Chains A and B, each alone.
Chain A
Amino acid sequence: MKMKAFLVFILCFFVGSSSIELTRVVNGRHLFVSPRVLEDYKVTIEGERQDMANLAKLIDEGKIELQELQALKAADEDVGREVEAKLFQDLQLYSLSGGFVDAQGPGVEVLIDDGTRDLEPWENPNDILVHDLDLLIVINELKAAGAEMISVNGQRIIDSSSITCSGYTVRINGRFYGKPFRINAIGDGSRMSAALIGPGGYGMDLKEWGLFFKVTILDDIKIPAYTEDRTSKYVVLSLPTG
């Protein structure tokens, strides 16, 4: 008798804990999600970790700088001169990265033009014309291949540069340009050209469509500074409170 009661107790325990397990999963949300979501979470976590590593690098650099300055202060040396040197070094770096000065260096010149072949009867003239998305993708590929500075028809590409088709012309940084399009990029020339005209490169796709596409590796390219107005109307600095 006792044995049986014990057995029933164990069974009840099992049933109870199993139903707890089941309800915990429900919790008022989707019971099932796509396996893709798991993958997405993993990638996002990986990305955040990389971001943290970047920040840690910035912190290390800052700490070294702080130590140097404090050491100078302790030794009663002229801190001002050190700070000034750093200031001018920073001025040079950020004026370059922000597109405030002309830049030069080795890189590639990409020439893209409308196709000259005859249209097949079922085709649309749009099929062999250069579009804004073509330029955007080529520029994006160049950046992914390590381009440091880019200009399109002499317009420096900065953080707020847009490229938009408008009828017969393309608007770059708010100014209008017609074909052909000449993209200059400073960086590793062979890597950038391989990314565009290598197997699966976007340049090969454009060529297959019948557009004119040519990449030239050059030793010395000049890319002009951004010359349009860049007054900010909406954005302000959010200074750290401390």
Chain B
Amino acid sequence: MQNKGGVPVIFALALLIGLIISIQLNTSDASDQGGLVTYAQASALERQLKEVRSEKELIMAEYLELEQRLKEIEEQSISEDALLQAAMKDLERYRMGSGVLDVKGPGVIITIDDPVPTEDNPGDGYSTIMIRSDLLLSLVNKLKDAGAEAISINGQRIIAKTEISLAGDNVNINTVPTAPPYTIKAIGNPETIEGTLTIRFGIIEIMRNNYGLQVSIAKQDEIEIQRYNGVLRYLYAKPVENPVAE
């Protein structure tokens, strides 16, 4: 009698295990581009990204400290000569105009992400915003038109020679590969910038309605924008010799 009592229990358990195994197999079978993948795979990469970002923060802090020490030495050793003091002021103005100093101020933060894939519309495996990176180009131009004084996309400062180019599968900004979600920071008059972007049939409406992108825009009292991290080196361009030294 006791023997017979155990059989249905084992039967039920075996059924459950079979079910679970088949579910597991089903969810991990979607490795082809176009299907869906489990969140677990994404969260592993998310963790990795967080680690890399905190590592970068350490390096950034080291850099700032080094810069501070250099600045101290410079200030100590440079004489009180008026000409040199004026030159130091000029240098700061030039560096600010070149985008190699960290800045802050009021402005807006815009985030852009690809359309949410749904059962009916899983997407074709390509990122909409990356293929239409001219939308980013256009957005940046509109920001400048609205009087933005400093702009960055995913931490890449927009300077005079910044490109936004689709290279292979990546969008390169300042030759650094970037991917969605895109966070665009702009310092300037928050009202003017928001008004320019959210105008009817404007750039944000086009992004949302024509391309299904997820766009959000938020006004902020204070935004920090990092300096340009690349190397400024000119191989072809030379300054025209100025007869009058500044």
Contact = CB atoms under 8 A, between A and B. Distances in A.
A33 B37 contact: yes
A43 B179 contact: yes
A65 B63 CA distance: 13
A66 interface: yes
B218 interface: no
Contacts of B103: 235-238
A106 B242 contact: no
Q: Is the interface of A mostly helix, strand, loop or mixed?
A: helix
Contact of B187 (A66, A83, A222, A234): A234
A120 interface: no
Interface residues of A, number: 112
Interface string B86-112: 011011111111111111111100000
19 contacts: A25-B39, A30-B39, A35-B125, A36-B127, A37-B42, A38-B42, A40-B180, A41-B45, A41-B49, A52-B56, A58-B229, A73-B73, A83-B77, A159-B158, A160-B144, A187-B236, A235-B103, A237-B104, A240-B67
Interface residues of B, number: 127
Interface string A149-173: 1100000011111111000000100
Given A36-B33, A159-B158, A237 B91 contact: no
A97 B88 contact: no
B73 A79 contact: yes
A98 B94 contact: yes
A204 to B, nearest CB: 16
Interface of B: 2, 6, 9-10, 13-14, 16-17, 20-21, 23-24, 27, 30-42, 45-46, 48-49, 52-53, 55-56, 59-60, 62-70, 73-74, 77-79, 84, 87-88, 90-107, 114, 117, 122-123, 125-127, 134, 137-138, 141-142, 144-145, 148-151, 154-156, 158-165, 167, 169-170, 172, 175-181, 187-189, 224, 229-232, 234-240, 242
A45 B164 contact: no
A59 B66 contact: yes
A96 B141 contact: no
A69 B72 CA distance: 12
Contacts of B66: 59, 62-63, 66
Interface in A61-88: 62-63, 65-66, 69, 73, 79-80, 83-84, 86-88
B97 A159 contact: yes
Contacts of A102: 239-240, 242
Contacts of B122: 34
Given A47-B177, A238-B224, A136 B187 contact: no
A8 B14 CA distance: 10
Given A29-B39, A240-B67, A52 B165 contact: no
Contacts of A45: 45, 48-49, 52
A202 B10 CA distance: 69
Given A40-B127, A136-B137, A95 B94 contact: yes
